[in-house]
Structure 1
Amino acid sequence: MTDEAPFFPDPERQKARDDLLAYAFRALAGRALTEAELRTRLARRTDDPTLAAEVLARVQELGYQNDAGVARAEGSRRGVGGFRVRQTLRRRGVPEELIENTLAARDPQQEAQEARELLRRRWPALARKRDPRASAYAFLARRGFGGAAIWDAIREVEQQQPPEDDPDG
C-alpha cells in the first residue's frame, strides 16, 4: 500500500472553478473577447492564476474564445480602414502575426470603395466647412484609412459634386 491518498477534488476549488467558468461564459456572451481581454477579466475575479488559466484553456477548448475569430470580425468591419483595424487589434491584445494576417486578407479596392462611400455621404456637411478637403482628410484618417485611399476618395467625390457658389468670389 502506498502513502499517497486517493485523488478527491477539492469541493471549494471546484466551486470556484465552476463560478469562474460561468463568469467567463457570461463575459463572452456579451462580446467576443480576445485571449488577453478574457485573461485580464478572469485575473480580476480570482487570486489563483492557475485556476484562471485552467478556465481560459477550457473556454478555448470548447471553442468559445478564439483570437482568430475576433481578428477576422474586426478585419471585416465596414467603414474603417486598415490603420484602425491594426490599432484596435493591438489594443485588444491580439498577437502581431495574427494582426498582419488579418490586414493581408483585407481587399485594398474594397477599402478604397468604402472610403469613397463614406465621403460621399458626409460630403455635403464637409463641403460647408472652411477647408473641405482638410476636413474630409481628417474625417477619413480618424476612421483609419490610408493617405492614398483618402486622396483618391477626395478627388473622386469633388469631381462628382456640383461646384458650390464660392462665398469669397
Structure 2
Amino acid sequence: MTDDALLPPDPERQKARDDLLAYAFRALAGRALTEAELRTRLARRTDDPALAAEVLARVQELGYQNDDTVARAEGNRRGVGGFRVRQTLKRRGVSEGLIEETLAARDPAQEAEQARELLERRWPALARKRDPRASAYAFLARRGFGGAAIWAAIREVSQQDPPEDAAAE
C-alpha cells in the first residue's frame, strides 16, 4: 500500500473533478460527442491531463460516451452518402476501424434509394438549370453519395420528368 492511499482526498482536486464531470455531462447533453471531441473539450477546461482522463474514463464507464453509438447514429443519417459519413467520422476523431465497420453496415440499395428520393424532391429546380444532370450530380456528390448511386438516380428521375432542354430535342 502506498502512502497516497492513506491520505484523505484533496478537497480542491475533488471539487475540480466534480466541476469537470458536471461540464462533461452538460456537453454530452447537448450532442453526442466522440471520445476525441470530449477529450479536447475537457483539456480546454483543465490544466491537469490526468484529471481530464479520469473524468473521460468515468463518463465512459457510466455509458454516457461511446464512439460506437456516435458512429452508428452518423451511419444511419438519412440524406447523406457513405463518403460524407466517412468524412464526418474522420473529422470527429473516430478510429478508422470503427469507420469501416460503420460503412460496412450501410445498405447500398438503401443509399441509392435515398439518393433517388433526394433528387426527386430537388429535380424541379435542377431541371431548369443549364445542365440539369451536372447540377444533380454535383448536388448528390456534395451529400456524399457515390457515382453509381448518383447516375442511377439521375437516369431514373430524368426519365420520369425530363429536363426542359431534353424535351425540346
TM-score category (smaller protein): over 0.9
Task: Tell me which amino acid in the other structure corresponds to 2:41.
Answer: R
Q: Which runs of 5+ in 1 are unaligned?
A: none
User: TM-score, with normalisation over the residues of structure 1?
Assistant: 0.95
Corresponding residue for 1:153?
153
- Distance apart, 1:154 and its partner CA: 0.2
Using the TM superposition, give the Cα deviation of residue 164 of structure 1 relative to its aligned residue in structure 2, in angstroms. 2.6
Equivalent-residue separation in structure 1 for 2:134 and 2:72 (angstroms) = 32
**Structure-to-structure mapping, 1:49-128, within 5 angstroms:** 49-128=49-128
Q: What do you get for the CA RMSD once the two structures are aligned? A: 1.9
CA distance in 1, matches of 2:60, 2:136: 42
Q: For 2:136 and 2:16, locate their aligned partners in 1 and report how far apart those are by CA, in whole Å.
A: 53
Q: Residues 165, 151 of structure 1: CA spacing in aligned structure 2 closer, same or farther, 3 A cutoff? A: closer
Normalising by structure 2, we get a TM-score of: 0.95
Q: Which has the higher helix share?
A: 2
Residue segments in structure 2 that go unaligned for 5+ positions in a row: none
Aligned length: 168
2-structure distance, mates of 1:122, 1:31: 29
1 CA distance for matches of 2:160 and 2:168? 22
Give the C-alpha shift of residue 163 in structure 1. 5.5
1:7 is displaced (CA, Å) by: 2.1
1:41 aligns with 2:41: yes
How far does residue 27 in structure 1 lie from its aligned partner after superposition?
Answer: 0.1
- 1:162–1:141 CA distance, 2 compared to 1 (3 A): closer
Question: Take 2:147 and 2:84, find their aligned partners in 1: how far apart are those partners?
Answer: 13
Between the aligned residues of both structures, percent identity stands at 85
Please give the alpha-carbon distance, in whole angstroms, between the structure 1 residues aligned to 2:20 and 2:72: 27
CA distance in 2, matches of 1:168, 1:159: 14
C-alpha distance in structure 1 between counterparts of 2:83 and 2:64, whole Å: 27
Deviation at 1:165?
5.9
